[in-house]
Amino acid sequence: MRMQIYALGPRTGVRSAEGDGEKMTSDDELYQPFHRALWADLENGETFPNKRPLLAHYTSISTLDAIMSNDEVWFSNPMFMNDVEELRFGMNEGLHALLRSETIRAACGDEPRYKALLDAFSGYFNRFAVEHAFDTYIVCLSKHEEPEDIDGRLSMWRGYGGNGDGAAIVFDVSKLAYNENSPLVLAPVDYLSTAKRREWITGKIDQAAGLIQAGAFPIEKLYLAAHALLERIKFFALFTKHDGFREEQEWRVVYMPERDKAGKLRDMFNYAVGPRGIEPKLRFKVGHIDGITAEDMSMEKVVKKIILGPSLSSDLAITAVKRMLTKNGKVELCDRVSASTTPYRTR
């Protein structure tokens, strides 16, 4: 009954950035303490799987119809999202901060070691940019504060729920189970100003410099430090937004293609043509996917309720949505439909 999903944090397997000499080092004595230290600032008690809130996806009625008729949730590429300072900003800032860092240069001790570290980091950075960034995908959800809440968040209705004419699909995260082999990552978003983001990146690089110096990395092992630092910055970029979006209380499910070694979701890579032109999409099929979801995985298992927007708060609209669900074979969801009582109207 549970969807298998991966919690926030990196795998311990690391590939050398040396091309032909790639190797896996799953328990390297230098990598493990370095990796743990870089991730120690995360408050694990506040994220999945320790926290399992209800999460709402605000969307239009036409998209609700598409989701229910096709059993699909569409993931978007973060480089096309409304916060232009997301993935691209975080990754580029990380690279530039590393290249400017005098603490990293000093920690390496000499020019060959410094060059080895930068070359390894650049190799991982370029591999992500060329091979993985285009097919990294996100679906955005908003924390639904209380199970009894039938109104939703007004700012979300205005911004994403058709200005009150849409719907909020509320998902039950308690149906999701931890699985370290999944290419899906679920975690809350952290909100920081642009200056604070840069400050975090600089601080993380300074921390890495201290760990490199204390760990006495031999030159042939510096790629381990480069990989761990790149992964930490990448996760920071994926799960951080400008603090102007704070009221959204966003959680994200992120598909990371580099984790999908068996290519379980690659057949779901697709596209959409919309107001912003053509964009890559991941059309995630809600159902059984071997190694990803349970055999009885379904929309009925994970959808807690469907809330119609405040501008659709009528018995006629509820009845019409129930008919739509029935026509799409989702009779079990009919009793989970309600309408927001927030007195907000756009017409």
Neighbours of 311 (CB within 10 A): 21
Asked, as a colleague might, if the bond just before 188 is cis with ω within 30 of 0, I would say no
Condensed to tens digits (0 to 9), the pLDDT of residues 125-137 reads 999 999 999 999 9
Q: What is the DSSP letter of 57?
A: E
Model confidence band, residue 82 (pLDDT cutoffs 50, 70, 90): low
pLDDT in tens, 281-304: 999 999 988 888 878 889 999 999
Q: What is the mean pLDDT of residues 157-168?
A: 94
Quick one: pLDDT at residue 6? 38
d(CA 322, CA 334): 5
- What are the tens digits of pLDDT across the range 163-221? 999 999 999 988 877 777 789 999 999 999 999 999 999 999 999 999 999 877 889 99
Q: Return the DSSP state at 104.
A: H
User: Where does the pLDDT of residue 1 fall: very low under 50, low under 70, confident under 90, or very high at 90 and above?
Assistant: very low
CA–CA gap between residue 221 and residue 198 (Å, rounded):
27
pLDDT value of position 10 = 40
Residue 199 CB partners (closer than 8 Å, separation 6+): none
What local confidence, expressed as pLDDT, does residue 153 receive? 95
Tokens representing residue 321 in the block: 């949505």
Higher pLDDT among residues 46 and 339, named by residue:
339
Query: What is the structure's pLDDT at 83?
Result: 56
Instruction: Specify the pLDDT at position 309.
Output: 96
pLDDT at 151 over 80: yes
The pair phi, psi for residue 303, each rounded to 5°, is: -85, 115
CA distance 338 to 64: 14
Statement: residue 8 has pLDDT above 80: no
Write the CA distances from 158 to 113, 150, 326, integer angstroms: 53, 16, 28
Query: Bigger pLDDT: 158 or 292?
Result: 158
pLDDT of residue 92: 93
CB proximity list for 246: less than 8 A, separation 6 or greater = 191
Cα-Cα-Cα-Cα dihedral sign, residues 338, 341, 343, 344: negative
Look over the chain and give the mean of its residue pLDDT values, rounded to a whole number.
88
